[in-house]
Structure 1
Amino acid sequence: MHRLRPYNRFLSPFLTIMFCLLVGRTEIYPWLSDIALDLLFNIRGTAETSQSIVIVGVDEHSLKKLGAWPFDRRVHGRLLGKLKQATAIGFDILFDRPAVGDEYFRRVVSESPPVSVAIAGDYNGRMIFPSPSLGSKIKKGHIETILGTAGRVKQVVLKPPHGFPVLALSVYGEDAVSSWSNLFEPRIINFYGPEFTFLYVSYADVLSGEIKPEFFKDRYVLVGARARALGDVHLIPFSRKYPLPGVEVQATILNNLLEESFLQPLSWLNYLYILVIFLIALIVWPGGRVRRNLLVLLLCGGIISLVAIAGFHGGLFIDPSIPLFVLLTAYTFHLVVQGFWVARELVAEIKWLEKQLKEGVEQVYETLPTVFQKKKGQSGGYWSGGLRNHLFVMQESIRALTLQHHFVNHLLSKETPPLALWEKGSGEMVLTNTSFTSFWNEVSGNKAALPGFEEFLSFLSEKQPEDEKNEVLQLDSLLAHGDRVVDIDLLQGGWKRYCRVLLHGVDNPVSCFHGILASFTDVTEIKELERLKGEVMNIVSHELKLPLTTILGYGEMLTVSLENDEKMYAEEICSQSRRLGKMIEDFLDIARVESGRYKINRFPLDMLSVVYDAKSAIEHMADTKDIDLVIKVPHRVTPILGDEPLLTQAILNLLDNAVKFSPKKSRVVFSMSEQEEHLLLSVRDEGPGVAFADRKRIFQKFSRGEVQPEEKGFGLGLSFVKQVVDGHEGSIEVVSGNEGGSEFVMILPK
């Protein structure tokens, strides 16, 4: 929790007041209030209506039986004759025009209980009154209501400034409410339920006598349109599938008058709520924990809602929308203000963490990898030099430290070869991976204790091959000349295994740690391949060369003694024997270089001498095909370190290939240039070229390009060249196109 500042307490209440005042200039509060009122009605549910109110509705049955609307005034007069025992009668119908039957209707009215008819205002604000032909005994009442923001009927003014009461009050009688105050102010209508909540009878049934006149005794009767096709319908809070007819709205108002059950607003309680909310925002929330503040928020919201529901059941409308809105607004601004100060302290913490991370990265890395270095022109985004920039630096530092973590984790994972780390001074094991534990349990017995370094050295000495056991492994002199490699033999599961153990010193001046890391590599397959390779070389060297020499000797003798076709056959035998012999020599040379038996001796040498030696060896072959062999070399070059015989043979192989695959009377060019750190050699011919797909494959053993003439070969010459160049830490590649000859470029370091 950040340290509370004095002005922090007042900031969120002040922002809440300003925001709520701004919202008060919009229609949001009335809209919220209407939503709250609708919810309270639906939570309360339907209520029981007075049985002293009856609605005589002009429904679809009445229209079908009595004809089109409006009905003849004589029909209404006949209806009044059926309602003589009622307390009062109200027509929610406009009789604004004279009509046939007005005289009859006026006479029946004079013999009936008090009759009220509807008046209403038009779009120009003028009142629409009943026709004077109806007489003066008819009472008048308006049918206008006040709608909410959603178009639902919400309030009614019992006696507006024009002086005529609402129709329901006209039916009820103004004298009954003479003691009421504020008749000119809107009152919230207390609805009882959806359509058909009140007693209802059909206009046609009353007229036909199906409903006895005694049914209406001492009851208030309201007559109005009930058929939806007549259009006199209104939305109320209970409206779902169908709206409420206007006559039923008047019945609801009349019921409110009878029971004095209009909803009474309790506005002063909302002011008390708002005062308490501001005290909470000023005193409780600034110093509280998040959970406690949230609990206070929920508790206050629950109390406001429960009081509103309970009050609504008692006929009080305690609008919960505004207090809840203020409560949520105050808490939101409290969170915003708190978040602002927390963000400021977070930035300070981020700066401190950034400093610690950068120091940690500098301790881990001598040079930060380029992928983690901030690129030129890269800024902190929206807040240059601000939070985004600090987060970026932290992110890159964390990535750099994560790289180290992944590196160590990779070394110690079970997928890697066995690894173990000992402290040099004590000889105690510090770290090991799963592979080493499994390996040691296998060679030393199940669940054997992991060895100290002295025990481990004894194990290595015991498992060394017989020809190396005369060399004693001692800790003091073990790593005197750098890393140490020890080969050991193991017998596991009846099979002999070969392992190569690398002992490497680990020194960390920062942590003052000095240790020895041992890593194991299983070289069983390599040893087996070396053995098989040696056997093959012996077979090729002894078992093939002797018969081949014999064949060549007898063949040369036959070429001297034979004539004509027989002599030609003998010469072909000699040619193919020499070719096979050359292949055997190339194969043995490559095998010796690959196996390491032929050690590359790197001494200073003059490459000009090497080039001219190779040229001399190939000149006869070039002259035979009338090929112009061009040598483009500088007068002198810096001596390089290399094996002269191997390099001579490699260049000779390149020239031999160029001459062999070039057409007669063409040109082969050898060039050499000296660069700052290497020599660049190239051999270019005018042969068929090398396909792009073959440029890497032709350096493999027994591989030849697809585009080639009838020249024969085994595909060993270029493989030998590649082995020699790799042994000198150089490179070779084909850089020419598919057509117009080929060019081999060889790079040798100085």
Structure 2
Amino acid sequence: MSPRHSRLGNLRPLDWVPSIKLKLGALVIGSVTGAAFVTWLGLRFQLGPTRTFPIAMAVAILLTLILARGMTSPLRQMRDSARAMAAGDYSQRVRASSRDEVGQLAIAFNAMATELAQADRGRRDLIANVAHEIRTPIAALRAELENIVDGVSEPTPAALEGSLRQTERLTRLVTYLLDLSRLDAGASSLDIETIDVESFLADCVNSVFATASQADVRLRVEVTPSGLTIDADRDRLEQVFINLLDNAIRHTPDGSAVTLSARDVDGGVVIDVIDEGPGIAVQDRERIFARFVRGEAAPAGSATARNPLRAAQSQPNGSGLSSGTGIGLSIVRWAVELHGGSVRVVDSTRGSVMRVTLPRSTSEK
């Protein structure tokens, strides 16, 4: 685009007008007024109609082009930006300086472009992270099997147990990817059964016990009252709390505790996953549930900062994609909402509290 065209595109004399209808009215009034003024001048100075009318028409057309170009330039920018975005360039933005409907459309277009850029960046990160996550257990499994085949090591129960752990890790990775596809497809099938909350939470704690032991984190379960039940899909809900527990263990200082606290409230059951880590910033509490969003690095002095091997230690028995790829918590919210519940971060004087609210068992209502 030449500098002259760029200057014309930036010329928007009607940006202050708050409505496209008023702009069209101003365009008509301006062109008619300009033509009438030129006609009056021509008649006053006796130029004659053969010279006055062509000049008046030219002035009217020029005013119309100037005013209309300023009105439609955001639409042309959106057209060019949309073409660039179709080619993979999400950096284009539209100048949204007008106050009318086109200006509002430009603002919405820029917001959409930003979201698409973030989604594309997240997709690229997801591919890279998933490739890394899958490659790690495959490499470990291959090395163990090659050692057994080559006679370097014996197929002892310990060696086979290590291979089984890597296979289970791969299974968890594939399960999370399948859950992501179900989330996109809107699938919502659940196998509902009545679950005793205390025994269910104890099973979840047992599933992450090895991870907690490696991180020197104690696990506690508190249920009030005893015998509390919920109607839920056990496997889906177990996935939720194992994910939340794994994240809590990952961000809790050595020697501290993670607590699973369940209680009966009006209309449902509240289950809190409470850690003693650095907590979650208020501005990030909703954002962390968005797909492809990962937590930032832990601040200096936190458990992860003091123990850089914590994340690596918790991966084999953790939830795989829970934080490494930024889709774990989005799947947690999806699974909880399938049950008619909600999940959010609540205020805490120390650490963070992930609160899951679920409907009570129908047998207790």
Question: If the TM-score is normalised by the length of the shorter chain, which range does it land in?
Answer: 0.3 to 0.5
> Higher strand proportion, which one?
1
Q: Which has the higher contact order (CA 8 A, sep 6+)?
A: 2
Normalised by the size of structure 1, how large is the TM-score? Answer: 0.24
Bigger helix share: 2
Structure of greater Rg: 1
